[in-house]
Amino acid sequence: MITDFKEIENSALNLDRKNKARLADKLLQSIQGKIDPEIEQAWVDEVQKRKESLKSGDASLHSATDVLKEARKRIEK
């Protein structure tokens, strides 16, 4: 069994993207506690809604640079 932090870290960094995400989720749950299933489902639903909105063209993506530039303009008024 791996017990050295560096070994664990190296093993984790060598995981594929999906398993890294699963591991990150498990680690966060161990720190924060279990997430309310209703809240988690609400976020899943929201992500799906936004994804469909992008696919259909009802929404669009903007770079962080452009968003911050626009926000600064509005604040200065």
pLDDT in the model for residue 34: 80
pLDDT, tens digit, 9 for 90 and up, residues 32-48: 888 889 998 999 999 99
Mean pLDDT of the chain: 93
Going from N- to C-terminal start, the domains of the chain cover: 5-76
Looking at residue 1, its pLDDT comes to 65
Reply yes or no on whether the pLDDT at 66 is more than 70. Answer: yes
* Among candidate residues 25, 28, 6, 7, the one with its CA nearest the CA of residue 17: 25
pTM attached to this predicted model = 0.51
pLDDT of 35 reads: 81
Q: Is the dihedral of CA 49, 51, 56, 62 positive or negative?
A: positive
Q: C-alpha distances in angstroms, 56 versus 45, 47, 60?
A: 16, 14, 10
